[in-house]
Chain A
Amino acid sequence: MTIPLYIVSILGVWMIAEYFLPFLNPLVPTTDMIRTYATILAAASWGLGTAILCLAHGRRIYRQTKDPFWGYSVMFLICFLAMLGAALTQGLKGTTYLWFYNYIIGPTGQALYSTTAFYVTTAGYRVFRFRNMDAAVLLIAGMFVMWSVLPLFTGPFPVLVVIAGWINNVIAVAAYRGFVMGVALGIIGLAVRVFLHKHREVLA
C-alpha cells in the first residue's frame, strides 16, 4: 500500500512543478510519456473491471436459487457477448455494432435523458412560488431569464433581453467565480492530503 502512495505523491508534485517551472521543460517528453502510461493503465482497468463484472454475474447465475434477480444476469451476459462479438468480428465501425449502438443504446439513453424535461417542469412549478424573500428573488430572476428567450415577451418588451443579459453576465458570473475558487481551493487541499498519504481512499 505504501509504494503506490509514494508514486502518486512523486508524480503529483512533478506534474505541478512542470506546470509552473520552465527550467523543467526538458522533462516534458518524460511527463507526456507518464500521462500516456496513465491512459494505458486506465484502459487496462476497464478490461479488468469487465472481467470481474462477468465473473460476478456468472456467479449469480450459478447460484440462481439464492438470488431472485439472476435472470437479469443472463440478460447482461447475452448483451455483453452480442456487443463483444459484433466488435471483434466487424470492428467498432461495423454495421452490427453500430446498429446495436444507434438503435438500442442511443434511443434508450435519449429516452431516459428526455425525462429530465418533465422533472424540471414539475420542480419549477413547485419552486417558483412567492413563499419568502429568497424564493421571491429566485422567482423574479427566473421570470426575467425565461421571458427573455420567448418572442411573445421580447417582442413588446425588448428591455427583457437586456435585464436577463445583466443577470446572466454579472450576478450569475460573479457567484459562479466565487464558487469555482472555493472548489479550486478544495482541490488543492485534497491534493496536499493525498500527497501526504492522509487520504488512502483515493486508491479505492
Chain B
Amino acid sequence: MSVITQGRVLGFAVLIIVIGMILYYLQRAAGGKLSTLRRLPQIDVIDEIIARCVEMNRELWFLSGQGTMTYATQLPGILSTFGILAYVTQRCAEFGAVIHHPTMLPVAYNIQFEIMREAYELAGKPEEFDPLDTIIYMPAGASRPYVANESWRRKPAGAILTGFWYHFTIIHAEALQRAGAMTLGGTDTTHNIPFMVAANNYSMIGEEMYAMSAYLSKDPALTSSLAGQDVGKYIVIVLTILGMIAGAAGVDVLTWFV
C-alpha cells in the first residue's frame, strides 16, 4: 500500500509546500519582518468614492454579498470583506461621509456591527454610528427589492460591493449605477465575476480582494498567508509551463506523480 493515496501525490506535495511557506512567512512576521504588499490601484478608488460622497453630501453604500460562513469555499470571500469594511468605515467617519451597510450575512452581522462601531470609535466619532441605520440585516431575498428601491430613494453617491455573490450581483450593481453611484465591485465567485466587471465602474477580481483586505488591515497573519500563497502560485505557473512543454513533446507527465 502506498503512503499517499494514488493520484493525489502532486496535490499533497503542493499543499505541504504552500503550508510550509505560509508558516515560514508567519514566523518571519513574528520576528518583525513583515512581507511587503504592493498597493493596489483599487485602494485609491475607495478614497475617490468616499471623496465623491463627501463632495455630493450623499451616502456610501457597502454591500458584503451573501454566502454561508460554514462553507470553506465561501468563507475566504466573506472574511476578506471584514478588513475592507473596517478601512472604509473608518475613512468615512474621518471624512464625514455617511455609510450605510445592508448586510445579507446573518452569522457575520454581529462581527460587522462591531467592526463598524470600532471604526467609528477609532475615528473619534462614536456618536455618529447609528446602530439602526449604519448597519442593518437584510435577508437575501428581501435585499433585491430593498437595494433597487432604497438606492433610488436615497441616491448614494458611491458603493462598494465585495464578498461572495450570487445572481443578484447584477441587480444590486445595476440598481446602484442607475441611482448615480460610482461603484467598486469585487468577488471570488467565478460565475459572477463577469457581472462585477461589466456592471461596476471599477472591479476586483478574486484574489485582489484578499490582497486588498490584507493590505488595508495590516494584519501580519493575512500578509504572511498571502506571501505563502504567492509561492504556491509560482509553483503552479512553473508546473503549467512544464506540463505544456511536456504535453507538446508527447510525454505523459501526469503518470509520474500517481
Contact = CB atoms under 8 A, between A and B. Distances in A.
Partners in one complex: yes
Interface of A: 16, 19-23, 42, 49, 108-109, 112-113, 115-116, 119-120, 122-124, 126-127, 138, 176, 179-183, 185-193, 196, 198-199, 201-202, 204
Contact of A190 (B70, B75, B167): B75
Contacts of A127: 198-199
B76 A20 contact: no
A123 B3 contact: no
Contact of A192 (B2, B22, B193, B205): B22
Interface of B: 1-5, 8, 11-12, 15, 18-19, 22-23, 26, 69-70, 72-73, 75-76, 79, 82, 106-108, 110-111, 141, 144-145, 148, 167-168, 170-171, 173-175, 177-178, 188, 190, 193, 195, 198-199, 205-207, 210, 221-222, 225-226, 228-229, 232-233, 236
15 contacts: A21-B5, A22-B2, A22-B3, A116-B171, A123-B170, A123-B195, A126-B199, A183-B76, A186-B207, A187-B73, A188-B232, A201-B108, A202-B75, A204-B69, A204-B111
A182 B221 contact: no
A98 B15 CA distance: 47
B141 A112 contact: yes
Given A116-B170, A188-B18, A192-B23, A201 B79 contact: yes
A13 to B, nearest CB: 10
Contact of A179 (B12, B26, B70, B193): B193
B173 A123 contact: yes
Contacts of A124: 198
Contacts, number: 137
A183 B175 CA distance: 28
A19 B141 CA distance: 37
Contact of B233 (A180, A181, A201): A181
Contact of A189 (B22, B73, B236): B22
A23 B5 CA distance: 9
A41 B16 CA distance: 31
Contact of B168 (A116, A181, A188, A198): A116
B27 to A, nearest CB: 11
A21 B210 contact: no
A20 B3 CA distance: 9
Given A189-B22, A189-B228, A204-B107, 9 more contacts: A21-B5, A22-B2, A116-B167, A122-B178, A182-B206, A183-B190, A186-B206, A189-B76, A193-B221
Contacts of A22: 1-5
Nearest to B230: A185
A193 to B, nearest CB: 5
B76 A187 contact: yes
A183 B207 contact: yes
A187 to B, nearest CB: 6
Given A22-B5, A183-B207, A192-B19, A112 B190 contact: no
